[in-house]
Amino acid sequence: MKIYRLFIYLVSCCVLLLSSAANSANKLDSVRIWAAPDNTRVVFDLKDAPNYSHFPLTEPYRLVVDIKDTGTKVDLAKLANNSKLIKRVRLSKPPKKGTLRLVLDLHKPVQSNLFTLPPTAPYGNRLVVDLKDSSSAPSQSKTVRKSANDSERDVIIAIDAGHGGEDPGSIGPSGVYEKTVVLDISKRLERMINSTAGMQAVMTRTGDYFVNLNKRSELARTSKADLLISIHADAFTTPQPSGASVWVLSMRRANSEIGRWLEQTEKHSELLGGAGEIIQNTDSEQYLAMTLLDMSMNSSMAISHSIAGDVLHDLDKITHLHKKRPESASFAVLKSPDIPSILVETGFISNPGEERKLSNGKHQEKVAKAIHKGVLRYFQNHPPAGTLLAKRTSIKHSVKRGESLSVIAQRYQVSVSSIKKANNLKSDMLRIGQKLVIPRA
């Protein structure tokens, strides 16, 4: 009888232990906060996929996240936090035993989006909380600089440092993250562009946070960029491949993007300017939009291919090239029909030798300089109308006897109005020996 009671007691203890273990079967291992200028991402690293729920609270503003059957030993008081939206992350009394209640104390009302991510090296299971300021609509676009007489603008170059935040990109043999290397190179390129008269850089990200791929193109468009450069570091399953390459949008992706944009009639004015508003009021809107978008895409792709060639020419002088000519692919960041775009693979981070080079500040400076030289050379040879570069590379003409504005315009294949604008002429009258600036056609 005593043996039977002892058996029952041991079984009961086992059941209680198993029940206790089940109540905290999952485990919160760490918490990371990635702060961007207008949003914040909080990542909860867990042993297993979480079973969670959440709800907001006001006065004061909070977001409460409950994760069932989970425990933690994380010291949230030591959590690094540079977010403008989150005061702190803390634990609170759970609704029932075994539930982990996390509270995000907020500075202001936010829009929240929660989702889970499966294990992907170097991370395991994750619960992601994306927060966006709901009281305003901040923008990362910059004011386009103009010259002193306010008649010429800068050529705008959007620089996109790939990956960031929760997305490390490729990881080198010694643990170097692609996201870190490409941000360093991008910042060096930004400095070079901003120190070049007639050019201005706009960054899609300035720190270690992730920017949605679609938003990267939108930021470039909002900034009225003349070119988008996406900076990356390549990788392969073996360490042998090496060298830099430059990519442009594939024709197949271009055609599919035109079809997608055609379906978004509200975007036509944004992409096509005044023409977009006109075609919306016509019976043949679809055909006109298709023609204009196709022309815009063809122009952008031709410019992209030409710039890619110029950049490769200069990269070839400072590093090995994996591809000698521009390659085409369906990268999402290249898909804008109205913005010439290139993607520069600065080298193979999976190659031990190139990983060391890409982590070296002197080599990063050389890569940035090569990209800068290639881009500058293209825009000096093909400056957009109305830019300071266009004025500086314009032709000078001395008026001769018998020459009129129309004769000079016909000679240089430009319009009379463009000559008058470039020279601030109020009338068509010219004098012999007068010096005229002839804008590029």
The domains found in the chain, sorted by start residue, are: 20-133 (2.60.40.3500), 155-381 (3.40.630.40), 394-438 (3.10.350.10)
Element (H, E) at 301: helix 285-315
Q: What is the pTM (predicted TM-score) of this model?
A: 0.75
Confidence bin at 258 (pLDDT 50/70/90): very low
376 or 392, which is more confident: 376
Chain-centroid distance of CA 48 in Å reads: 31
Angstrom distance (rounded) from CA 200 to CA 185: 16
**Pick from 252, 245, 227: nearest CA to 336:** 227
**Pick from 105, 110, 46: nearest CA to 81:** 105
pLDDT at residue 331 in the model: 80
Residue 416's contacts (CB-CB under 8 Å, 6 or more residues apart) are 405, 406, 409, 428
In sequence order, the β-bridge partners of residue 66 are 53, 101
Q: Residue 346: count other Cβ atoms within 10 Å of its Cβ.
A: 29
Angstrom distance (rounded) from CA 283 to CA 278: 11
In sequence order, the β-bridge partners of residue 436 are 397
Is the pLDDT score of 364 beyond 70?
Answer: yes
Name which of 256-265, 326-335, 370-379 the model is least confident about: 256-265
266 or 128, which is more confident: 128
For residue 12, count CB atoms less than 10 angstroms from its CB and return exposed for 0-12, middle for 13-18, buried for 19 or more: exposed
Residue 314's identity, in one-letter code, is D
Angstrom distance (rounded) from CA 347 to CA 356: 11
pLDDT at residue 426 in the model: 87
